[in-house]
A and B are shown apart, each in its own frame.
Chain A
Amino acid sequence: MAYLFNTPDDVRSMLEVIGAESIDELFEQVPDHLQVDGLLDLPAGLSEPELEAHLRELAAANHGSSSRVCLMGGGVYDHFIPAAVDEVASRGEFYTAYTPYQAEASQGSLQTFFEFQTLVCQLTGMDVSNASLYEGGTAVSEAVFMAMRVTKRHNRVVVLGSLHPEFQQILETYLGHLSCQLDVIATPDGAADVDIVADSLDEETACLVIQHPNVFGALEELEPLCRAAHEVGALAVVSFDPLSLGLLKTPAACGADIAVAEGQSLGIPAQYGGPFLGILACRHDHVRQMPGRLIGQTVDRHGQRCFVLNLQAREQHIRREKATSNICTNQGLLAVRATVYLSLLGRQGLVDVAELCCRKAHYAAERLGELPGFELMFSRPFFKEFTLRHQGDATDVINRAAAAGFDLGPALGRFPRLRESLGEAADQTLLVAVTEQRTRDEIDRLVESLAATPTDSATPETLTKPA
């Protein structure tokens, strides 16, 4: 049997020590009539070669960025992952360890997470980062709960309509059973109107949630928006793109109180949407209201510097129903990946990758926007992703591009929550994201393929339903 050690002789001698007749006897606590009669209805076991053949067959029925050129966005991007990231994350000493409860047996993980926390602070300008949350969407919800605790305002949260609609859906789920009102401010121009937002905030508002760059790829007027939140005593929760910070002002410099992010772009593959990396950072004052694990530096009994799980009194295993979050298992290995990635990038690498994304995205936007039947949906400044509008159905554009070997999207029509901001253009719009990996040649070929009159080359295929 797979991965088992005990030979029949072992079993006999172990049972003897236990004083039991059989393994069955050990299960006497489970009433007989509750025990499965025979075997469950599961497939028979596979050998490793059979399993590999099976997985290869399943993989061959998928088409990812290894079979087409990826210009997809919507929060998941095709950035280059240096080999050294995989090498470190493949170390069994990291990926087969668990939460570092025993500090003496876990200094490798603990120091790495301490470095992760520091790198996030350096990236964002914030004072404190935790050691990870599940992903970018739940990070927004955790930040909102944290803002409610800090401000002691539990009745109202304001969110821009340009927040990723799935992040908004999670927040709706998390707040759905509470008395807290969730107000969403539509962003018909691709970004929020600061005056409208300011007018909508009041002394009951716990926080204003802003994504920057937003789901349309556009930059928000982050500084005045944060100021507007502060004027009513609310916190500014900012969801950022980590790599954008090679070019853009940090969340801290713009006035964010809590900065959250999806960390997928930091050396984590798309893998159908997870596991990813939730990032949450804040100011010193609010550290005891933070969710999730925090690693702290201290000294051991010899006075040596070392690292431990810190401020655990916030957490569920100590505080139970009064904990700042229910999170236990987090995304440790993804934090390891991000730490290695940022170490490799360094100060200049971060700037380079951000500029490359920005330049290539602007080239692609210019070329695509000039095509007959196409235009850029918004005129706002953007970083690496933009909203393209087609005079026909956006899904046709995606199908035509796929037939030519390019993946674009998602089509924004799949997100009902964006309809108020997009109006009648909802079904005509799609996202295009351009990372540092794309070449001018690829962009030019995409433009040529879309310029050609739509013909039979288009696969009549439906897109995913709104999910």
Chain B
Amino acid sequence: MRNTLATELLFDLSQPGRRAARFPHSDVPEQPLDEMIPASFRRDNQDGRLPELTEPDVIRHFLNLSTLNMSVDTHFYPLGSCTMKYNPKRHERLSRLPGMVDLHPYQRICDQQGMLRLLHDMQEMLAEIAGLPAVSLQPAAGAQGELSALLVASAWFRSRGETRTRVIFPSSAHGTNPASAAIAGFECVQLENTAGGLVDLAELEARLDEQTAVFMITNPNTLGLFETQIESIAAKVHDVGGLVYIDGANMNAIMGITRPGDFGGDMMHFNVHKTFTGPHGAGGPGAGPIAVRSELAEFLPGPVVTRTTDDDGQPHFDLETPIRSIGRVRSHFGNVGILLRGYCYLRTLGREGVRDAARHAVLNANYLQALLADLLPAPFGEYCMHEFVASASNLKDQRGISAMDIAKRLLDFGFHAPTIYFPLVVLEAMMIEPTETESKATLDAFAAALHEIAEEDVDFLRQAPHETPVSRPNDVQAARQPILSWSPDDDADRNA
């Protein structure tokens, strides 16, 4: 049923003389181009090589391409650490309302009061969920939130006459943690041990000193476990004068249940595209707002939204750059389209719904973990939070089936694969996050598929997937001789 003709590359579909977009003729007095832009600045239009297509070509091409994807709308997508929950359709309609979608960022303040109210209230809701009072919505994604918060920390230490050089994180940290720390100019120190999947307090203590700027920790951590000693961890970091950063990638487990600010965090980011159902957009856009303690507020990246009350009692919203701000981290005001969807989500769930979403995310994860306990045991912890990291090492030892084989074969069963081989502390790791927006029936079917796969022929599994449009791309060849764009020569080669 696949239309392989339509999914040829755009450049192969191109036919000279075809057109899609047409514009009205110019209605202003004709003026020679040379008088407007001297020829020395202008391109030779023969070198414009964009493809030539009709609108039906374009639609059939991309709609057929879209069917080659798995997505939350079409499939169970238990990609650990990514919170692939349902993306409500109302958000898509509401984000396109006139007055929202067409609002220019340099409109006059009086012309943006509705938007500023929304963003202000989003700041307030995030502060409440974080238990940290000051919020900047600026960062474009979680990684930029991390970087922004680390720069805030750096500026705060400088303001106190301190230069601290180190950022510490556990080995199970997301790769963005060390990458952000490096860009923020810090030296990275990784904790290597785990005490039952948690931070080893003794090792942490040995690494803490007056050079420690920030300890970054994901809580619940990437093994899906709550760091039960988080208060002691925070106290030890605070004892040496350091700050605690909470990577909020896993907030879906704890929103409305416990708050980073209450368990010792000084700074955190949210992933609005994960926890507050962004959506994920085939890889983005995200939004990575940060929340910090009040003494760090004046260093936040700006602008932030402020609320005042007019003489006649009406609220007035404005933009303000915090007094000692680290500066801008992006142009304009954050990934507003995603923040708006997150706002809609929080307003839909409300105070009870936020807590219930976390409770059911945790219930679903524990249920699935229990269904798989015999086959893919999770090495740490009795109960998990919103996700668990199962290990395929038994299957690997007994039958030679790897996490990769299982992941690939799951695709044939109509399930997206979990995150695999992360975190590294678990051999043959399969990080599974079902989210709260899946039914028991789906979880049952997923577990049944895994049990069935475990019995399948090993050679058959090593060649899986069998029913997807492509199977086991040659990554080595891709890296050795990178082809990163189409060129006319490629076609000549293919036809040769």
Contact = CB atoms under 8 A, between A and B. Distances in A.
Contact of B94 (A40, A51, A398): A51
Contact of B114 (A62, A275, A440, A443): A62
Interface stretch (A203-211, A229-237, A287-295): A287-295
A352 B19 CA distance: 12
A23 B154 CA distance: 41
Contacts of A59: 97-100, 114
B352 interface: yes
Interface stretch (A66-74, A371-379, A421-429, A448-456): A66-74
Interface in B51-102: 51-53, 55, 58-59, 61-63, 65-75, 77, 79, 82, 84-88, 90, 92-95, 97-102
B140 A97 contact: no
Contacts of B181: 321
A181 interface: no
A146 B254 CA distance: 38
B160 interface: no
Interface string A146-176: 0000000000000000001011011011101
B50 to A, nearest CB: 5
Given A72-B106, A166-B331, A96 B87 contact: yes
A154 to B, nearest CB: 12
A108 B68 contact: yes
Contact of B331 (A273, A302, A461): A273
Contacts of A214: none
A183 interface: no
A219 B37 contact: yes
A74 B332 CA distance: 10
Interface string B434-446: 0011111000000
B125 interface: yes
A101 B175 CA distance: 15
Residues of B contacting A: mostly: loop
Nearest to B371: A17
Contact of A407 (B11, B107, B286, B287): B107
Contacts of A23: 359-360, 362-363
Nearest to A68: B111
A43 interface: yes
A128 B487 CA distance: 11
A274 B42 contact: no
B179 A93 contact: no
Given A72-B104, A465-B319, A295 B484 contact: yes
B324 interface: no
Contacts of B482: 287, 294, 296, 310-311
A41 B353 contact: no
B31 interface: yes
A1 B356 contact: yes
A194 B32 CA distance: 27
Interface string B361-388: 0111011011100000000010101000
Interface in A60-104: 60-67, 70, 72, 74-76, 78, 80, 82, 84, 87-88, 90-104
Contact of B52 (A347, A362, A440): A347
A88 to B, nearest CB: 4
Name the residue in A97, A245, A459 with the highest tally of chain B Cβ atoms < 10 Å from its Cβ: A97
A178 B185 contact: yes
A461 B110 contact: yes
Nearest to B435: A3
A98 B468 CA distance: 18
Contacts of A310: 475, 478-479, 482, 484
A445 interface: no
B144 A138 contact: yes
B106 A464 contact: yes
B468 A105 contact: yes
A381 B259 CA distance: 56
B184 interface: yes
Contacts of B369: 18
B347 A94 contact: no
Interface residues of B, number: 209
A263 interface: no
B472 to A, nearest CB: 4
Given A43-B351, A300-B470, A170 B330 contact: yes
Contact of A134 (B144, B154, B411): B144
Contacts of B142: 328-329
A225 interface: no
Contacts of A11: 363
B238 interface: no
A295 to B, nearest CB: 7
A300 B472 contact: yes
A186 B89 CA distance: 48
A419 to B, nearest CB: 17
Contacts of B59: 84, 87-88
A67 B99 contact: yes
Among A5, A88, A245, A250, the one with the most B-chain Cβ atoms within 10 Å of its Cβ is A5
**Most chain B CB within a 10 A radius of its CB, from A58, A101, A166, A262:** A58
Contact of B18 (A58, A272, A346, A409): A346
A88 B114 CA distance: 29
Contact of B370 (A19, A70, A340): A19
B295 interface: no
A300 B474 contact: yes
Nearest to A250: B43
A226 interface: no
Interface in B1-45: 7, 9-11, 14, 18-23, 26-31, 33, 36-38, 41-43, 45
Contact of B69 (A107, A297, A347): A107
The residue in B144, B178, B347, B473 that gathers the most chain A C-beta atoms within 10 A of its C-beta is: B473
Given A250-B43, A349-B23, A407-B107, A321 B178 contact: yes
B50 A329 contact: no
Interface in B289-323: 301-303, 318-321
B192 interface: no
Given A97-B72, A105-B416, 9 more contacts: A26-B363, A29-B385, A269-B101, A276-B332, A298-B475, A329-B280, A346-B20, A347-B52, A349-B21
15 contacts: A4-B436, A13-B440, A18-B363, A36-B258, A58-B99, A271-B103, A271-B336, A274-B334, A294-B484, A297-B483, A310-B478, A328-B141, A344-B58, A465-B319, A467-B321
